[in-house]
Amino acid sequence: MNHVQPGILAAIPKFASYLLFHALPDTEPAAALQRLAALTDGQRLVVGLGESLVLSLGHSIAGLHAFPSYALPGCDIPATPSALCCWLRSDERGDLLAQTRQIEQALAGAFRLEQQVEAFKYRNGLDLTGYEDGTENPVAEAAVATAVVRDQGPGLDGGSFLALQQWLHDMPRFEAMSSQQQDHAIGRRKSDNEELEDAPESAHVKRTAQESFAPEAFVLRRSMPWASGSQAGFMFSAFACSFDAFEAQLKRMVGAEDGIRDGLFQFTRPLTGSYFWCPPLKDGQLDLRAVGL
């Protein structure tokens, strides 16, 4: 798939920064987006457009819609839309600082940076709780089939849809849980990452088992830990060729189907929730034909 932004399929980097932008009122975003497109290689910088931005350009992308929100006992799921997401990726943290300034300058006058989350790779790809993330991720051709849009035409083929959530961990609460309680919340043993057959139905692994849905609900996870001062958690990032699989998993996690709430909610909660369409590349730059640019 030579049109997909390659950072979507690549392994997570050592360091990353998530920049979420608000579109300024009474401005024309087209010129700023074209400047950003020229900077976007899809590897060091992965870009996603929110629904409001696409609509402001007078277009729509099939499948791009509002993030679902839930207000249920013990698991509030907020929807916090943004116009634009820039996922900066590097093995050197210092590089992200210069890249952030370059992006802000390109977008000046049309967009304002509303949130910046610094993320990093922890050990071999662990969450800060010590559990491995993305164990069941599809690989190779299966990853492409899961994450990349096909057969939709020029300007769309090679695109991807991104579900992004910032989760805040209550680490003292998690650390107060016994090893068995922690393993049962996740559904795997921390020591060897083996799935627990006797885990409760609320275990995260059972709630989100991708093969257990009809149709199967596969996503490509590219999540990373984040930390700021005393607060820390997880930037959940899921790429797919539509939002259907993510929404099926989320609905089951909150217990909307059977009243069983995911074990994750014992020690963590999402602060944000947003959807983005990640355009394909053309000639090494962001392809914005689908939004008229």
Q: Measuring CA to CA, how many Å separate 190 from each of 103, 253, 258?
A: 39, 21, 27
- Preceding amide of 215 cis, omega within 30: yes
- The pTM for the full model equals 0.96
The single residue listed with the structure tokens 């539509």 is 242
How many angstroms from the chain centroid is the CA of residue 42? 15
Written as tens digits, the pLDDT of the chain (293 aa) is 579 999 999 999 999 999 999 999 999 999 999 999 999 999 999 999 999 999 999 999 999 999 999 998 888 999 999 999 999 999 999 999 999 999 999 999 999 999 999 999 999 999 999 999 888 899 999 999 999 999 999 999 999 999 999 999 999 999 999 999 999 999 999 999 999 999 999 999 999 999 999 999 999 999 999 999 999 999 999 999 999 999 999 999 999 989 999 999 999 999 999 999 999 999 999 999 999 99
Q: Which amino acid is at 51?
A: E
At residue 208, the pLDDT reads 94
At residue 224, the pLDDT reads 98
CB contact at 8 A, 68 and 77: yes
Where exactly are the structural domains of the chain?
A: 6-291
Among 279, 212, 211, which Cα is nearest to 33's? 279
How many angstroms from the chain centroid is the CA of residue 258? 26
At residue 251, the pLDDT reads 96
Could you confirm whether domain 6-291 is CATH 3.30.70.3420? yes
The single residue listed with the structure tokens 């009474």 is 26
At residue 72, the pLDDT reads 87
Residue 71 makes CB contacts below 8 A (sequence gap 6+) with 77
HSE-CB for 240 with a 13 A CA cutoff = 22
Q: How far apart are alpha carbons 118 and 116 in whole angstroms?
A: 7
